[in-house]
Amino acid sequence: MNLGLKDSAVVVVGGARGLGRAIASTFAEEGCRVGIWDVSPGAQAAATELGGTGWRVDVTDDSAIRAATAETWAKFGAVDHVVFAVGIGSGKFGFPFWEIDPSVWARVLQVNLIGAAIVAHHFAPRLAERKKGTMLFLSSVAGQIGSQTDPPYSASKAGLINFSQCAAKDLAPFGVRVNCLCPGMIKTPLNRSVWRSWADRQPPETRTDYETWAADKIAKIVPLNRWQTPEDIAAMAVFLASDRAANVTGQTVNVDGGYVMHW
C-alpha cells in the first residue's frame, strides 16, 4: 500500500491471532517495526514471524500493562501507533437478555472495555508528550445496533466506541488521533461461537450448520452479500494510522459490507 509508515513502531494488542494477527502482518508489510502483545503464549512466535517482538500480556492486569509499556518503549525507542484488537464474547446466546446470568457480564466488560482503557492510560501520556501518533480500538457493528445475540459483548463494544471518542477529544490538542474500527461478518472463532450458542438452543429440526447459518445471515443483513475478511479490516487499520488519514479522529469506521448505515 506504501502509506509512508516505514520504520514506524506499532503495538498490536491481541496480535497473536485472528484480526489482530492480520493487522500486525499488514503493518509489517508496510515496513513497520511490530510489537505484539497477547495473553497467548504464542505472542513471541507470532511476532518473530513478522520480524518483531512479542510480550505475553493480560490486558486486565494494570501492573503487567505498565511494565510491558515501559519495555516496549525501551525496545523501540518510542511507539507511534497502538491498536487494541482484543475481544471476547460471553459464550451465551443473549435473547432475551435476562436469561443470561448477570455473573457473565463482568469478565466481558473487564477485557473488552476496561482492558482497552488500561492500555490507553499507559500509552496516552507518552504519545501526548511526543505530540504524534495514533490509537485504534477494534469495536464491532454489534456495538452500534444493540445486537441481541450477546448483550454483554454488544454493550462492551458500544462502551468502547464512546471511550474512543473521549480519548480522541483529550488527545486532539496534542496531535494524537484516536479512532474506532468496527468489523462486520468475519469468519473468526468468535463468530463461530455465536452460531454455536444459537444452535445449542434450537430444536433439531431448525438447527443448521455454521456455513448455512452464516450464509443466510449475510444474505439478510449485509447489502454487499459477502463476508468481510481479516485483510479488509487490516487494510483500514493501516490506512487510519497513516498521514492520509491525518484529519480523521474520533470516528467510528465500519468495514461491514454496508450492514450498519446511519441516516
CA 97-101-105 angle, to 5 degrees, is 80
Catalytic residue among 55, 153, 198, 213: 153
Nearest to 94 by CA among 153, 140, 182: 153
Phi and psi dihedrals of 35, rounded to 5?
-110, 135
Bond before 96 cis per omega within 30 degrees: yes
* Residue 257 near residue 217 (C-beta atoms within 8 A): no
Asked about 259 being catalytic, the answer comes back as no
Query: 3-class DSSP state for residue 138?
Result: strand
| Integer angstrom CA distances of residue 120 from 66, 171, 195, 196 | 11, 11, 32, 33
CA–CA gap between residue 214 and residue 192 (Å, rounded)? 9
CA–CA gap between residue 250 and residue 166 (Å, rounded)? 8
CA–CA gap between residue 219 and residue 12 (Å, rounded)? 32
* Residue 252 near residue 180 (C-beta atoms within 8 A): yes
CA–CA gap between residue 246 and residue 105 (Å, rounded)? 36
Antiparallel, parallel or unpaired: β 134-138 and 33-38 = unpaired
Q: Which residues are catalytic?
A: 153
